[in-house]
Structure 1
Amino acid sequence: MIDYILFSASQAQQQMESLSGLLQACVADGASVGFTDAADREAIRHFWQQRIPGLAAGDSQLFVACQQETILGTVMINYSAMPNGRHRAEISKLLVHPQARRQGIARTLMQCAEQRARAEGKTLLVLDTRSGDVARDLYRSLDWQVAGEIPFYAESTAGVLDATTLMYKVLV
């Protein structure tokens, strides 16, 4: 059975190695999630370490999919700090371990994030995803809309500059 848990800052701190291992495995598998070198364990750990203050302050939230205390996936909700953006949030770091894919984990994590954002009074969610990735199909199946595409947006693990697709979902 897979459990979906809203992690606190202290839980994230305690699971730093597991979170880093998940991100490292996804990057090694070619995921476009901000990193180009899966071997750069320090940069990956630093990323998670930088998220702790935001989790503690409530500026972001982290859902984690766990099975028998093993972290299989994550998704983050990042709330807008600007007064004119209090109604929206950004979804990021939807990660599922390569060995745990095709089990509905990403879909359930996204549903958890959407429910939580709605409960927090958010009416608009945004995200970006590498154009052509299967993640785009997942988002479309969850009623996300394409806002547009930006060419040459992010460098891949293979050193190629890939386009990104900007997407949004109105929560009603």
Structure 2
Amino acid sequence: MSGGGYVVGELTAEELHGAADELAGLLVETVHGGASVGFLAPLAAAEAALWWRGLVPDVADGRVVMWAARAEADGRLAGTVQLRPATTANGRHRGEVAKLMVHPADRGHRLAWRLLAALEERAAGLGLRLLVLDTETGSPAERMYAAAGWSRVGEVPDYATDPAGAPCSTTVFFKALGAGDGERRTDGR
């Protein structure tokens, strides 16, 4: 998906492995910028790259579907998002959105919206009918999800910590994707 100065595309396991160092830079920048995405500051680039490479088997097996956004002008990594389809028998109609990150230099171009749109389209194609996510309460991300049509479920106090280790509340959202076909495809596509 091209346009707006960025190309958004799904990553294969091989592409993820090759982009792990770039993704590590984005993750470090995001954590050091104060976003609560599961890591504490200071986060070393080597640790972040190792974490991304650890996702390669999950991407290869379809347990995680990932997208990357790259700037058309120079090809640099500008953002990423993950879809984590549920694996339980009674949850195969749903998935979780995780690790939506946009580099600070690329914010303000609706790139997060484009990443979410690509994810939602693919999720529907997999037969998923429901997506869920959580984000730090009061964050710019919370406002963006609400504006993007996600429904707020509620707030969980002290659910996580910010990168400095201070407890923070999390807001849970969901989005219904439509009727779907009742069964999630298992071919990874």
User: Which TM bucket (shorter chain)?
Assistant: over 0.9
Indicate yes or no: 2:27 matched with 1:12. Answer: no
Indicate yes or no: 2:137 matched with 1:114. Answer: no
Tell me the equivalent position of 2:55: 51
TM-score for the superposition, normalised by structure 1: 0.96
Aligned residues of 1:25 and 1:38 also touching (Cα < 8 A): no
Q: Which amino acid aligns with 1:44?
A: A
Q: Which amino acid aligns with 1:151?
A: P
Give the deviation of 1:159 after TM superposition. 2.6
Q: Which amino acid aligns with 2:65?
A: Q
Q: Tell me, in whole angstroms, the C-alpha distance in 1 between the residues paired with 2:113 and 2:133.
A: 15
Structure 2 segments unaligned to the other structure (5+ residues): 179-189
Q: Secondary structure at the match of 2:109?
A: coil
RMSD across aligned C-alpha pairs, in angstroms?
A: 1.0
Moved over 4 A (4+): none
Q: Which amino acid aligns with 2:140?
A: V
Give the deviation of 1:60 after TM superposition. 1.2
Give the deviation of 1:117 after TM superposition. 0.4
Tell me the equivalent position of 1:156: 162
Count of residues in Structure 1 that have an aligned counterpart in Structure 2: 172
User: Which of residues 21, 26, 32 is equivalent to 2:30?
Assistant: 26
Q: Tell me, in whole angstroms, the C-alpha distance in 1 between the residues paired with 2:84 and 2:101.
A: 15
Structure 1 segments unaligned to the other structure (5+ residues): none
Q: Deviations over 1:104-133 (max 9, x none)?
A: 110110111111101111000000000001
Aligned residues of 2:29 and 2:103 also touching (Cα < 8 A): yes
Q: Which amino acid aligns with 1:136?
A: E
Q: Which amino acid aligns with 2:109?
A: Q
Q: Deviations over 1:45-72 (max 9, x none)?
A: 2221221111000111101100122110
Aligned residues of 2:69 and 2:115 also touching (Cα < 8 A): yes
Tell me the equivalent position of 2:175: 169
Q: Which amino acid aligns with 1:70?
A: R
Q: Which amino acid aligns with 1:150?
A: V
Tell me the equivalent position of 1:133: 139
